[in-house]
Chains A and B, each alone.
Chain A
Amino acid sequence: MSRASTTKTEGRGSKASPASSVVLSKEAQAQLSRWPATAQRLLTELLEDAASDLQRELLQRAVAAGHTPNEVHAFADQLRAMGDDDAFTACTLDESAPSDYTVAQLLRAEADPLYAFELKGGTLEPSDDEVPLAKPPPPVDLNALKRRPSSGFVADSNDVGPLIREEPTFTRRPAAASEPHAPFSSGGTPSAMIEDVFSEATRALGLEWQESEVDVPGGLSLETAISDSAVALSEGLPVPLALGAAPGKSGRLVLAIQLSVSGHNRAWQLYDPFSNELVWANERDLLNRNELPFSNKVFRRVTRVVLPSRRR
């Protein structure tokens, strides 16, 4: 975990927990919905009592990672006694980590501070009183998704949409492809301004890039752009995106680095090297076209996407 990634998932995708001004991420909310009411109220108190934003963020991530209420409570008790520097050190694995930890353990520790805390030798003493949780939502069955006809991700549906498609993933789109969600009639050609810059940059790695404007005539609908980008991210390929105030107005370039799937929700990690911000944005926020968790709120929506394809 890096300090730059103390995330800002605020925005329309998040909401304040009851009787609290603390804003919870959608991932944390998804887990929290399974907790009994008393445990949820306790978490509210823990977040309000937390000594700093860093500690609140660590607790949120522990909730989002699926830890039980008792574990989160015990974690909070440990953190309360620490300053920010000590808490960060206690929950971050770096090159000083013991050599017998595996790659998988290290990558998990990046996302789950409670797990990292225990890996580093921290001990928690959760209460023995078992807190029954609601049944978790069924995990996403990727094999079933593969067999489903490609339908894309619809923000208000319960379907996650296919992460891996059977048809070739990245083929050049015709200029006026039919788009079921496109708000505009076809016509005109999308202007390619920047794709060659990315193709040149990744030539040695065997990747080419194709650029598409979003929500303009002849371009992709945002829903399709997000769906295609999610496919690339799920295969480990970052995706450059342009953000702007309105379709056709690309004012800022960012990089979508990775995707996090939690139940029916997907969160995107976006990096803006110009303002040096690294944020998590819920996919619903991207699709709402209204607000993103960057500090500059002018760039509120995706206006251009640059998708990868393997060089033949």
Chain B
Amino acid sequence: MLDELDELRRGHVTQRHLDDCARTMRRLDGSAKAAAHGIRQIAETEFAALPALHALLRRWAVRVKSDADVPLLVAHFERLALVSALTSALHRAAERLPRSLR
């Protein structure tokens, strides 16, 4: 996951893009076939201008083979967005810690 985030950051994918992606993924239909199609649609219509995120979505889309994969994948993208947001917040929050304790 950290490698994926690193790749996305290098591809200039912002937190807002990740949040939007996670929220959009939540709307995916439960069936594997529909979800795989849905992910490709999301990649093409919403993130075509972001090659790194576009490529990541398409890579995962081909791996959705069973209905059980769908919630796992949705959760993965939610965690990507969360980990990214929280990691950035850790840096900001660290500035609030008393200097003597750092």
Our pick among B62, B64, B87 for the contact of A273 (Cβ within 8 Å) is B87
State the main secondary structure of chain A at its contact with B. Answer: mixed
**Most chain A CB within a 10 A radius of its CB, from B16, B66, B88, B97:** B97
Interface members, chain B 61-102 (any A CB < 8 Å): 62-66, 68-69, 72-73, 75-76, 78-79, 81-83, 85-94, 96-97, 101-102
Task: Please report the C-alpha to C-alpha distance between residue A7 and residue B94 in the assembled complex, in whole angstroms.
Answer: 25
Known: A202-B85, A242-B97, A251-B101. A103 touches B90 (CB 8 A): no
Judging by beta carbons under 8 Å apart, are A100 and B65 in contact?
A: yes
Judging by beta carbons under 8 Å apart, are A193 and B91 in contact?
A: no
Name the A residues within 8 Å of B72 (CB-CB).
103-104, 107
Judging by beta carbons under 8 Å apart, are A238 and B65 in contact?
A: no
Chain A 141-175 near chain B by CB (<8 Å), digits 1 or 0: 00000000000000000000000000000000000
**Most chain B CB within a 10 A radius of its CB, from A198, A205, A240:** A205
CB distance from A192 to the nearest CB of B (A): 10
Name the B residues within 8 Å of A106 (CB-CB).
63
Name the A residues within 8 Å of B68 (CB-CB).
104
Task: Please report the C-alpha to C-alpha distance between residue A104 and residue B75 in the assembled complex, in whole angstroms.
Answer: 12
- Interface size on B, as a range, is 35 or more
Chain A CB within 8 A of B19 CB = yes
Q: Which A residue's beta carbon lies closest to that of B73?
A: A103
**Most chain A CB within a 10 A radius of its CB, from B23, B69, B90:** B90
Chain A residues within 8 Å of chain B by Cβ, number: 41
Judging by beta carbons under 8 Å apart, are B66 and A193 in contact?
A: no
Judging by beta carbons under 8 Å apart, are A255 and B78 in contact?
A: no
Judging by beta carbons under 8 Å apart, are A238 and B2 in contact?
A: no
Judging by beta carbons under 8 Å apart, are B1 and A257 in contact?
A: yes
Task: Please report the C-alpha to C-alpha distance between residue A202 and residue B62 in the assembled complex, in whole angstroms.
Answer: 29
Known: A2-B2, A273-B91, A274-B94. A102 touches B64 (CB 8 A): yes
Judging by beta carbons under 8 Å apart, are A240 and B97 in contact?
A: no
CB distance from A74 to the nearest CB of B (A): 27
Judging by beta carbons under 8 Å apart, are A238 and B82 in contact?
A: yes
Interface members, chain A 253-278 (any B CB < 8 Å): 253-255, 257, 271, 273-274, 278
28 contacts between A and B (CB under 8 A): A95-B59, A99-B62, A100-B62, A101-B63, A103-B76, A194-B93, A194-B97, A198-B89, A200-B89, A201-B15, A205-B19, A205-B22, A205-B23, A205-B78, A205-B81, A205-B85, A238-B83, A238-B86, A240-B86, A251-B97, A251-B101, A252-B94, A253-B94, A255-B83, A255-B87, A271-B83, A273-B91, A274-B94
Instruction: List A residues at the B interface (Cβ < 8 Å).
Output: 2, 4-5, 95, 99-107, 193-194, 197-198, 200-202, 204-205, 207, 236-238, 240, 242, 244, 249-255, 257, 271, 273-274, 278
Q: A103-B76, A204-B19 are in contact. List 11 more A-B contacts (CB 8 A).
A: A104-B66, A193-B97, A197-B93, A197-B96, A205-B23, A238-B83, A244-B101, A250-B97, A251-B97, A251-B101, A257-B1
Instruction: List B residues at the A interface (Cβ < 8 Å).
Output: 1-3, 15-16, 19, 22-23, 55, 59-60, 62-66, 68-69, 72-73, 75-76, 78-79, 81-83, 85-94, 96-97, 101-102
